[in-house]
């Protein structure tokens, strides 16, 4: 178990924190199922990284909502906020539980995994190598969805997560891309990110 980080009060907008929490928890669920079905330790570890972020946001939201209540009426409205934040946190905990199934090598029956693979779109993680043609290109210009049927659903840039990145985002060397799409498209993107393919068809 990793050492727990200390948390200090930070005056951030509850709206921003809760929006991030909601987006991250939804991505965590997708990643976690993919991690289980493809038995991917990489994806499972990403899920646990995101879980840390959600836990942090949960504390910050609690602190800020407590400070925002001035009377009983406020408290009632804000209870709705903390309840939703707690439920969202629970969703991310569920995703983390799936990731643990993978990391503890409890595993999923291979035949079921194979069958699941056919019905579900595939998620994958890939790191952008310096030699890749993706480097310094705008997502919008790459047209990954149109060309190979792949969506970039998140980018991890060092410690920072860009969830559902904007079309204006520029891909940088070392970015970790979390992508979704049909298996052949996902494989193609991996080769492109690693610099093995120099052209997007």
Partner 1 sequence: MAKTEKHFKEIVDKLVTLKDTSELMIDLAYSSLLLNSQALAEEVEALENHMDNLHTDFERIVLASGFNTEESKDFLGLIRLGVVTEQIADAAMEIADVVLKGLDPHPILKLVIEEAEETVTRVMVSETSRLVGKKIREAQIQEDTGMWVLVIRRGNWWLRPRPDTIIKAGDILIASGYAEGEADFKALVSGT
Residue 63 touches partner 1, criterion: CB under 8 A? no
Rounded CA-CA distance 39/62 in Å is 35
> Residue 123 and residue 142: Cα distance in Å, rounded?
19
Stretch of residues binding partner 1 (CB under 8 A), selected from 48-56, 85-93, 126-134, 148-156:
85-93
Beta-bridge partner residues of 162: 155
Scanning 4-12, 40-48, 113-121, 193-201 for contacts with partner 1 by CB under 8 A, the matching segment is 113-121
Q: With binding defined as CB under 8 A, does residue 105 bind partner 1? A: yes
Piece of the chain touching partner 1 by CB under 8 A; list 43-51, 86-94, 174-182, 193-201: 86-94
Task: Specify the stretch interacting with partner 1 by CB under 8 A; choose among 24-32, 42-50, 143-151, 189-197.
Answer: 24-32
In whole angstroms, give the CA distance from residue 120 to residue 124.
Answer: 13
Task: With beta carbons less than 8 A apart as the criterion, state whether 61 and 82 touch.
Answer: yes
Pairing of strands 160-163, 150-157: antiparallel
# binding residues, partner 1 (CB under 8 A): 41
Shortest separation between residue 7's beta carbon and partner 1, angstroms: 21
3-class DSSP state of 38: coil
Alpha carbons 148 and 136: distance in angstroms, whole number: 19
Q: Which residues of the chain form contacts with partner 1 (CB under 8 A)?
A: 14-15, 18-19, 22, 26, 29, 32-33, 36, 76-81, 83-84, 86-88, 90-91, 93-95, 97-98, 101, 105-112, 115-116, 119-120
């Amino acid at each position: 178990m990793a050492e727990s980080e200390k948390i200090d009060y930070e005056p951030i907008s509850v709206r921003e924190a809760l929006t991030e929490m909601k987006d991250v928890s939804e991505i965590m669920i997708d990643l976690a199922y993919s991690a289980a079905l493809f038995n991917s330790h990489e994806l499972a570890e990403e899920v646990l990284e995101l879980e840390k972020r959600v836990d942090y946001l949960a504390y910050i939201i609690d602190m800020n909502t407590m400070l925002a209540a001035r009377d009983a009426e406020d408290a009632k409205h804000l209870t709705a906020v903390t309840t939703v934040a707690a439920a969202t946190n629970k969703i991310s905990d569920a995703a983390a539980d799936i990731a643990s199934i993978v990391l503890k090598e409890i595993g999923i029956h291979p035949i079921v995994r194979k069958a699941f693979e056919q019905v579900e779109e595939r998620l994958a993680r890939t790191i952008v190598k310096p030699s890749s043609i993706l480097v310094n290109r705008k997502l919008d210009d790459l047209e990954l969805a149109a060309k190979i049927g792949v969506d970039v659903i998140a980018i991890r840039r060092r410690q920072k997560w860009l969830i559902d990145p904007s079309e204006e985002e520029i891909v940088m060397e070392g970015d970790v891309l979390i992508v979704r799409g049909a298996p052949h498209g996902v494989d193609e993107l991996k080769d492109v990110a690693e610099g093995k393919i120099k052209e997007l068809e």
